[in-house]
A and B are shown apart, each in its own frame.
Chain A
Amino acid sequence: MRNTKRILSLALCLLLVCALLSVAALADTTGALVEDSVGLLEQQELEYRDLQAKELQELGIDAPVIILPECDDPDAYAQSYIDADGWGTLTNGTGVMLLLVTPDGDSGNFYLYAFGNEGSRFDLEDLSERTSEYFQLGNFNTAIFEYLEYLKDFWVDATTVRPDLPDWYPEDVNSFEEFNDPDAPRLVDNANIINAYRYQEVLEKINAIRDKYGVDLVVYTDNTSYGFSRQLWAEDFFVFNGYGFGEALDGSVLFICMEPGNRGWYSAFSGKAENMIDSDTLNYVDDQMEPYMVNGEYTDGILAYLDALDYVYSHGHAPKKVGGPLAAGAALGALSGGITTGVLKSGMNKVKKATTAERYVRDGSFHLRSSRDVYLYSSYTRTRRSEERGSGGGGGGSSGFSHSSSSSGHSFSGGGRSF
């Protein structure tokens, strides 16, 4: 029994030692990535930038930022730093190092070093140009922030795997010439989300709208937007497949993307169809479609979209909603009524306790003898800026109606939502 206890104690000690060693190793690899020997950054700024650099590590690159007052041989210093252990091992050694040498923050030089297996993917000339612009902002904290953000965007873009483009995508976009293909299919369900039994119903509705208003209409679903935004892919699909009537390519496309993390739809309107829709009417159309899409009832969503599009093409506006203005009117009315009676009620009682004595201050008798302002500390709150709708985000709200040009240069109007 006593031996069992000893064995257990020994095992526990061993486990404890192993755990401590693991923590020590982890601490070694997660050391500070932003070091400031000059004191250009405040403590909190330094901590935020270090966190930012560590976020980059999670994406697969090291981005150490070293600020030194002086350095005789930056190249040798950088080499020894990069070769040293203790950081960067999480990312297999790929990354960029920013070495800033400045004695006082007013003048100095910066040096960029790409390293590691995939270090050659960084365009140091371009990066150097941008970094120089950032440092001209005059605020070192902001400059380093922008530099690290650019590195992040660059790396995310460089490492995103795009599927092969479909056959219809032109090899040379610049030499592409627009055309009309009356025989191209007006319902392309690559994502296979339309109920087979109702496929014909959807197609008949599309054709009815085309015939009724003299503008083309195509519904296109896919499992990817091929690394492009849903907006650009919808517009390119429309132009490169020869949709649209006449030279102005009168017509529209509804593109529904089912790609995980990029689920949503975008409607692009071209030529005459651009004048048949605006921000309000598109919002109405999307409002009709959204509840179905959110619930996975895609066929019903598309049919609701087509019905709503038919209505706004026919009337030029969305149906007038009495409920909204009435509810707003009732709320504002109740508020106004409450405020009015409150004001009238206050006029019925002129009795109020006096809590101050301004009118009894002897003229010119107030003297401020001494005044001292002692700075204590600074605090920061950071809020991520809201992104434009239509290129991501949750459901509901506005459709983010905008004007744009496709890869071919053809102009469109439109908007969309995510679900």
Chain B
Amino acid sequence: MGSNVKEYKCPACSSALAWDAGLGKLHCASCGNDFELDAVELLTEAEEAQQEFDWSAYKEGLTGETLDDTVTYTCRSCGAVIETSATTSATRCPYCDNEVVLTDRVEGGLKPNGVIPFKIRSEDLPGIVKDFYKGKRLLPRNFFQDSKLREIQGLYVPFWLFDGAMDGTMILNGSVSRSYVEGQYDVVETQHYLLERSGDVQFTHVPVDGSTKLSDDLMDSLEPYDFSELRPFDGAYLAGFVADRFDSDPDAELPRAQERMTNTASALIMNTAAGFAPQVRSNGMALHNAAVKYVLLPVYLINCEYNGQKYQYAVNGQTGKVVGELPISKSQKWKWFFGVAAAVCAVVTALGLFLQ
């Protein structure tokens, strides 16, 4: 094993703090603040204490065990804590691309219930990314030459899988209209109804990522995963990859899953009143029998820099689906706009003159 390092994050900007022997304090090179060691240690302990989650009720499905056959690295810059197998060495942070260091004094994280192993090989990624660029007409012409593709890192991202049943009653406003002619008038008669619908529906494996360092939208966009390939967790799956440790507990993420389930359950209920053009008057759908599991899902993160701006793409390590925001060339955009506008204008004008 390498050296043992205890990392402290700046309370102001979350950057790594360094010991300044001259001042006898911890110094933040990023924001320039100095902190007493005792104060920062107190703050760090308080933050760590907050991470002791309450595994009650719906969290009974979680293992409750800790990982003991992995090594832990911490990013010097963004503070990300990542884990990998003892045989794999990590050098760069998958999130911010900065250096990571071993911190084996950090206790092992929660052992996941399951893992979906990587199916996409890292050597296939250049071809997959190339396909992703295909057909992107607004991509800058020099993007391929000028963009710097950083190291592609295979990362197991922590996800919470929520199960549950939405059950309840919805009250809807509904209306049915018919038109007819009455003498010199067009009449529209609208019948108004109050609609009551009760029902239930069950959900399994609604995924919500448990990492605050990754954008929720980016992780949502990687769906779907095939959960039939979910395997019981084994540290051997981490060989050659790194795994992020969750930093957002299920209690914090449950509302996101609940919102998705509520929207879908409401839509199913409203479909039963489609002929009435329904509008929600009150929604009594509630979550019951909730359960959660902790899993690791395979993601490749690709960090790219173009014209001084950083772009991050993610690849579903199971299906090869690529998501991310590509840079847009203004000149390409205007070329397309004026090209199409001029062509349509010419055709319509010619047709108009011909038909006159």
Contact = CB atoms under 8 A, between A and B. Distances in A.
Interface of A: 141-142, 145-146, 149, 317-318, 320-322, 324-326, 328-330, 332-334, 336-338, 340-341, 344-345, 347-362, 365-385
Nearest to B258: A357
B195 interface: yes
B182 A330 contact: no
A358 B264 contact: yes
Main SS of chain A's interface residues?
A: mixed
Given A357-B263, A371-B196, A382 B187 contact: yes
Given A344-B138, A353-B220, A377-B192, 20 more contacts: A146-B183, A328-B348, A329-B345, A333-B341, A333-B345, A336-B340, A337-B337, A337-B338, A348-B325, A351-B215, A351-B221, A354-B260, A356-B264, A357-B203, A359-B223, A362-B201, A362-B204, A366-B200, A371-B196, A373-B193
A361 B328 contact: no
B24 interface: no
B188 A381 contact: yes
A337 B341 contact: yes
Contacts of B55: none
A326 B349 contact: yes
A366 B221 contact: no
Contacts of B273: 373
Contact of A376 (B192, B268, B338, B343): B192
A189 B346 CA distance: 48
A387 B263 CA distance: 48
18 contacts: A149-B183, A317-B356, A329-B352, A330-B341, A333-B341, A333-B342, A337-B337, A340-B336, A347-B135, A357-B263, A360-B205, A367-B199, A368-B199, A370-B196, A371-B196, A371-B198, A376-B192, A384-B186
Contacts of A361: 201-203, 264, 268
B190 interface: yes
B165 to A, nearest CB: 8
B21 interface: no
A119 B235 CA distance: 104
Q: Which of B191, B273, B328, B345 has the most CB of A within 10 A?
A: B345
Given A333-B342, A355-B263, A362-B202, A338 B337 contact: yes
A365 B273 CA distance: 19
Contacts of B189: 378-380
Contacts of B290: none
A145 B328 CA distance: 63
B136 A348 contact: yes
A383 B324 contact: no
Interface string B322-351: 111111100001001111111111111111
A374 B185 contact: no
A360 B206 contact: yes
Contacts of A373: 174, 193-195, 273, 276
A367 B168 CA distance: 11
Contact of B196 (A340, A347, A358, A372): A372
A274 B182 CA distance: 37
Nearest to B184: A385
Q: Which of A318, A334, A361 has the most CB of B within 10 A?
A: A361
Nearest to A336: B344
Contacts of A369: 198-200
Nearest to B173: A376
B352 A324 contact: yes
Q: Which of B194, B218, B341, B347 has the most CB of A within 10 A?
A: B341
B217 interface: yes
Give the contact-size bracket for chain B: 35 or more
Contact of B344 (A337, A357, A375): A337
A223 to B, nearest CB: 29
B147 to A, nearest CB: 14
B185 A382 contact: yes
Contact of A329 (B181, B325, B338, B344): B344
Given A334-B341, A356-B264, A371-B197, A362 B137 contact: no
A324 B261 CA distance: 52
Given A145-B182, A332-B348, A378 B190 contact: yes
B344 A352 contact: no
B202 A365 contact: yes
A333 B337 CA distance: 9
B272 interface: yes
Contacts of B337: 337-338, 340-341
Contacts of A375: 191-193
A320 B356 contact: yes
Contacts of A340: 336-337, 340
A382 B182 contact: yes
Contact of A322 (B223, B325, B348, B353): B353
A385 B186 contact: yes
Given A329-B347, A351-B324, A380-B189, A356 B184 contact: no
A328 B344 CA distance: 10
B224 interface: yes
Contacts of B218: 351
B198 A368 contact: yes
Contact of A353 (B188, B216, B345): B216
A383 B186 contact: yes
B267 interface: yes
B344 A333 contact: yes
Given A381-B187, A384-B184, A370 B197 contact: yes
A378 B191 CA distance: 4
Contacts of A325: 348-353, 356
B269 interface: yes
Contacts of B137: 344, 347
A47 B97 CA distance: 76
B120 interface: no
Nearest to A339: B340
Contacts of A321: 356
B217 A374 contact: no
A382 B260 contact: no
A404 to B, nearest CB: 22
Contacts of B187: 380-382
The 8 closest A-B pairs by CB, nearest first: A325-B352, A333-B345, A337-B341, A329-B348, A333-B341, A354-B220, A329-B349, A365-B202
A329 B196 contact: no
B333 A349 contact: no
